[in-house]
Structure 1
């Protein structure tokens, strides 16, 4: 059994993830506090500028949802607490009630949907490779038998491991604690490439120590949707979150935020990722869906 499923089962057995905690709006109202998560290095979705301030596309979506929670509960002075999560702990900490909402760079997958619920998809991406230009790596076959980094707890680590087995590439996969750690493995020549969602690779490269020395290469292995994550069996909170995202998509505010983070200079270095909206995301704005990755 997947270690995450074992831990989830343990949490459920010990009562840490109770039905009462799943009723998120009541929990927030009773405590006058909502706790939301952020990622430390998921550029441009959710990342730190300085030591404590989280910014990004997903952070802006989170703040819009929090505003609607305030209105729903008639609590204009609602306290908002921000806590960092990693690829490895984000699901467990949501399940046990440590925080209430995750909008970051989490793939909406059928496997994860057994444990959590997903809101309307807000981005589409695919696994590619970040490598040094001097490496000579252009695609996955060039990495046969060589060290490749990915990040603990991500779908990308599973995708690249499966692809390696199917193609008999014998990739030597090294897992970083977070995306910055995985990037460092490439920068320090412990891995020849970093397999991750292409948009995160472009963001990490743009804000790296030497962007000109790096490049994103390789075929996109599969299309994956990102979505905000919340606890299961909580239709009231799901309705609110989906309602916020639908409103942003229909009003044009979502497109404005997309332009802000993907088509304009972003902090801290003022780099423009210059990534036009994908056809999948354009279609999702017209007909919002939370369909998982295939």
Structure 2
């Protein structure tokens, strides 16, 4: 009796694991298509250069995964479909299978890990403030009783609400539908600051009409990792994505990509962000990890 129960458990495990492992790769193989998400204004990770051409550091990570999937499935002519996503809809679109992979500017945290899976981390950032230099705002205390922007569906909006309540700052927090929308609130003086991941703020300033008008200020409220997002409970597909990114890290190609997008002039204006690699990211290249923020 014990043996048959054990065998049944083993067979069930094999069946479940097999179903999970085949999921995304099997779907891609059957349809002949992989669907990648992109962001429209997450500079320099994933953003538009022209009406419908996504470019950026994370876009190049996605493209590397596509090449690995083509080899894995022996489908050199695999069709690549591109779909724009926002902070608000990116997780549901992974969950319902509309998109197979999202490499943008998504924080890998424990709460999201209940709904989706994350590849190894590829960047580390913290919430800071984009302001007009003329505003004289230097830190969070200066935001008391003022209107502050963030982006719908981001960890930054949650962090700011929590900080606002804890410090009794009585801020009016307004949310843009995407980063460009939230930046516009500051540009048009409808908000005095935009709270977001510092790297995205530097990217927005670099592409602004008048970059010299803005600056990034304030302490980083928390340090969080970015990672590519994929369907949950799909170890075979996660292995392909992880192996691709770790391979880039170990070969030195990842650092070349980093220097291209963070240290050199980038489209559309040819402005360089000049942001050296953080100690956290250097450590992650040596010992790749998919550890989430708490």
TM interval, short-chain normalised: over 0.9
Distance in 1 between residues matched to 2:119 and 2:152, nearest whole Å: 23
Q: How far off its partner does 1:21 sit?
A: 11
Structure 1 alignment gaps of length 5 or more: 1-18
- Work out whether residues 56 and 261 of structure 2, in 8 Å CA contact, stay in contact via their aligned partners in 1: yes
Corresponding residue of 1:241: 241
Q: How many equivalent pairs are there?
A: 276
Distance in 1 between residues matched to 2:223 and 2:171, nearest whole Å: 22
Corresponding residue of 2:184: 184
Distance in 1 between residues matched to 2:73 and 2:171, nearest whole Å: 51
Q: Does 1:148 align with 2:148?
A: yes
Q: Give a deviation string over 1:4-55, Cα, whole Å, max 9, x none.
A: xxxxxxxxxxxxxxx7798100000000000000000000000001100000
Corresponding residue of 1:287: 287
- Work out whether residues 22 and 233 of structure 1, in 8 Å CA contact, stay in contact via their aligned partners in 2: no
* 1:169-180 equivalence runs, <5 A: 169-180=169-180
Q: How far off its partner does 1:170 sit?
A: 1.2
Q: Does 1:120 align with 2:120?
A: yes
Corresponding residue of 1:260: 260
Distance in 2 between residues matched to 1:170 and 1:23, nearest whole Å: 47
Q: How far off its partner does 1:209 sit?
A: 1.2
Q: How far off its partner does 1:98 sit?
A: 0.6
Corresponding residue of 1:8: none
- Work out whether residues 150 and 157 of structure 1, in 8 Å CA contact, stay in contact via their aligned partners in 2: yes
- Work out whether residues 21 and 235 of structure 2, in 8 Å CA contact, stay in contact via their aligned partners in 1: no
Corresponding residue of 2:205: 205
Corresponding residue of 2:9: none
Query: Which entry has the higher C-alpha Rg, 1 or 2?
Result: 2
- Work out whether residues 20 and 233 of structure 2, in 8 Å CA contact, stay in contact via their aligned partners in 1: no
Distance in 2 between residues matched to 1:201 and 1:54, nearest whole Å: 18
Distance in 2 between residues matched to 1:264 and 1:64, nearest whole Å: 21
- Work out whether residues 35 and 82 of structure 2, in 8 Å CA contact, stay in contact via their aligned partners in 1: yes
Corresponding residue of 1:223: 223
Corresponding residue of 1:65: 65
Corresponding residue of 1:36: 36
Structure 2 alignment gaps of length 5 or more: 1-18
SS at 1:289 equivalent: coil
RMSD between aligned alpha carbons? 1.1
Q: Give a deviation string over 1:131-152, Cα, whole Å, max 9, x none.
A: 0000111000000011000000
